[in-house]
């Protein structure tokens, strides 16, 4: 997706925010909503990484507390020609990961403990390369701002439900308030998905090129998708507006997969990676040796001590 199209979609979210404000308070409400939207964007720009990481209980790790994981991130960041991002772990059994930050110089990569426990080193390399691709494409800022505005629209729509019903002339009334409460968050969600789903394909493609082996990422996506349907992510359930930031939708309610999914279907993503694998077949990939495998008979993560200490 081009940056122009992304800008149009973000403008649509802001316009929707102003529309909700207008329904609540007329032209004055629209102006107030615009000011709130601008303030929300500024807040998200400077605090997106800390805000999202805090929502998911992520803790920063380093070369002493998670040597294998941090080494792998550093090697892949070097291949992607990116500054070393901060590295975080979330104590969560569901395998998943996301990246955040306003630019590559202020970026962070976060993975769940379930991800490190369930994937091979090669599969994990594919996942981290995907997240680094989001950083390189500056997706992390766009997706975090989108999540912030979408969450704010839902909140102000619920406020309008209570406030609008008590207005005699200017408010939307009970029926209008109910429609606003339902349709405004729904419209915000659709715009949010339109931004997210295309960017996932782009990050899959670039991530596969960073690690050099598209099928490592394809294998990881299948494993994560299967586990996400079985293992709940309670932090994500409490903050659903951040679901599109994860490599696979962390939410349990994924029945309506086509229109209302925050991600493309895993089958389609794997199909694209298989096609890319055919193109990149002659090239070498990222090996366990270059990632600094620990060996010692404990598997790729030296699980006798655990990669996160």
Q: Which residues are catalytic?
A: 131
Tokens 């994860």 map to which residue? 246
Give CA–CA dist 145/38, Å, rounded: 11
Token pair 């008979």 in the structure block, residue: 297
Burial of 39 (0-12, 13-18, 19+ CB in 10 A): exposed
User: What Cα–Cα distance (Å) separates residue 297 from each residue in 138, 303, 304?
Assistant: 39, 9, 9
- How far, in whole angstroms, is CA 257 from its chain's centroid? 17
| Contacts (Cβ under 8 Å, ≥6 apart) of 193 | 244, 260, 261, 262
CA-based angle 92:96:97, to the nearest 5? 105
- Contact 281/207 with Cβ under 8 angstroms? no
Maximum pairwise Cα distance, the chain: 75
Phi, psi of 125 (to 5 degrees): -60, -40
In a 3-state reduction of DSSP, which class is residue 68? helix
Whether residue 24 contacts residue 160, with contact meaning beta carbons closer than 8 Å, is answered with: yes
234 half-sphere exposure, CB direction, 13 A CA radius: 4
Question: What strands lie across the sheet with 86-90, from one edge to the other?
Answer: 58-61, 86-90, 107-112, 97-101
């Amino acid at each position: 997706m081009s940056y122009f199209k992304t800008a149009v979609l973000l403008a649509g979210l802001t316009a929707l925010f102003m529309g909700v404000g207008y329904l609540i308070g007329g032209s004055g409400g629209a102006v107030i909503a615009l000011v709130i939207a601008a303030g929300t964007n500024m807040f998200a720009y400077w605090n997106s990484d800390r805000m999202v990481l805090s929502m998911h209980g992520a803790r920063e790790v380093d070369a002493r507390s998670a040597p294998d994981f941090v080494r792998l991130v550093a090697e892949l960041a070097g291949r992607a020609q990116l500054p070393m991002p901060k590295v975080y772990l979330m104590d969560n059994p569901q395998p998943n990961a996301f990246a955040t930050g306003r630019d590559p110089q202020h970026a962070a990569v976060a993975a769940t403990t379930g991800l490190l426990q369930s994937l091979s080193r090669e599969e994990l390399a594919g996942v981290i390369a995907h997240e680094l691709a989001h950083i390189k494409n500056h997706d992390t800022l766009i997706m975090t701002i989108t999540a912030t505005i979408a969450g704010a629209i839902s909140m102000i729509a619920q406020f309008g439900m209570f406030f609008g019903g008590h207005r005699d002339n200017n408010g939307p009334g009970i029926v209008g308030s109910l429609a606003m409460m339902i349709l405004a968050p729904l419209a915000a969600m659709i715009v949010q998905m339109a931004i997210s789903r295309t960017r996932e394909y782009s990050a899959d493609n670039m991530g596969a090129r960073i690690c050099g082996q598209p099928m490592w990422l394809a294998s990881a996506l299948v494993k994560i998708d299967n586990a996400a349907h079985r293992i709940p992510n309670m932090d994500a359930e409490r903050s659903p507006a951040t679901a599109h930031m994860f490599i696979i939708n962390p939410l349990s309610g994924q029945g309506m997969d086509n229109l209302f999914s925050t991600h493309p279907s895993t089958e389609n993503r794997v199909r694209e990676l298989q096609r890319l694998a055919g193109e990149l077949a002659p090239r070498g990939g990222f090996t366990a040796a270059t990632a600094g495998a620990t060996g010692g008979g404990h598997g790729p993560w030296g699980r006798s001590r655990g990669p996160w200490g």
